[in-house]
Amino acid sequence: MNFKNIFCLSVISSLLFLSGCSTTQGLKSGQIPTELKSQLSSQQAIVGYFSRTENEEDCGCASQIDSTYSKTPVEDGYYRVLLGRNAKGDFLVQDFYQKTGHPQSSPAWVTDPLKLFSFDGSDVEGPVTLYYPDGKVAAKFTNKDGEAIEGEDYYTNGQLGSLFKTDDQGNSEYRLWYASGKKAVEYTLNKNQETTSSQAWNEDGSDNEDIEGVFKKIYDLLDPKFQE
């Protein structure tokens, strides 16, 4: 699933153009954490395939379905496994790389049946981890009622690239770093999505007044291209 959209939409609407890699080991194919497995009442298999970009061929599906969805495997794409359901009827899914079968995401809950066929990270609930093909963490985020309340993106070298969090009052804080680990941006919004503070730096530590430009530069580098 993709995560960059969650960051992008919240900041674009206010001012900026906005959008993982500590060396933790990815989950093995089909492995379900004990705390999630205990909530399942059934187990199933693959429910869909996804491409990296919009699918040029009509899948014959309802118009609400993600344009990257495919009914058949997509080379260098992904596939989604339905791991089971809980007593409320929610779906526990996990995404994998088509080429290797390695996890692209940790298990995550989907509450809306139509969103089983969406690769958008905003369509899952709870904490989620995304992985690069080598198993390193690409991103971590937590959704609540369809909204991202916290998240992190990582460079492929393991450096934390972005940090986002929202407090109980609806205030948001964004921090970005260069791949070298030097700070790039600090930015805050109030609950009305109004800017309350903002500052950006060049990698040499000097001030940079083009905050939007720095945001775009960082997120262009952080955009998880899981197929590479």
Pairing of strands 126-131, 172-177: unpaired
Higher pLDDT, 47 or 57: 47
Average pLDDT over residues 3-25: 40
Token pair 């503070």 is found at 197
Across the chain, what does the average pLDDT equal? 81
50 pLDDT above the threshold of 90: no
Average pLDDT over residues 79-95: 93
49 — pLDDT class (breaks 50, 70, 90): confident
46 pLDDT above the threshold of 90: no
- What pLDDT is attached to residue 139? 94
Sequence letter at residue 74:
V
Domain-wise residue ranges, the chain? 1-24+136-228, 26-128
Average pLDDT over residues 84-109: 94
- What pLDDT is attached to residue 92? 95
Contact 121/5 with Cβ under 8 angstroms?
A: yes
62 pLDDT above the threshold of 70: no
Tokens encoding 13: 């609407």
56 pLDDT above the threshold of 80: no
Higher pLDDT, 217 or 46: 217
Closest C-alpha among 39, 147, 146, 130 to residue 85: 39
141 — pLDDT class (breaks 50, 70, 90): very high
- What helix, strand, coil percent values describe the chain, rounded to 5? 15, 35, 50
Q: Starting at the edge strand that comes first in sequence, how are the strands of the sheet with 78-85 ordered? A: 69-70, 46-50, 78-85, 91-97, 108-110
Measured between alpha carbons, how far is 48 from 199 in angstroms, rounded to an integer? 43
Measured between alpha carbons, how far is 23 from 26 in angstroms, rounded to an integer? 9
60 — pLDDT class (breaks 50, 70, 90): low
* CATH class of the domain defined by 1-24+136-228: alpha beta
Sequence length of the chain is 228
- What pLDDT is attached to residue 15? 37
- What pLDDT is attached to residue 158? 94
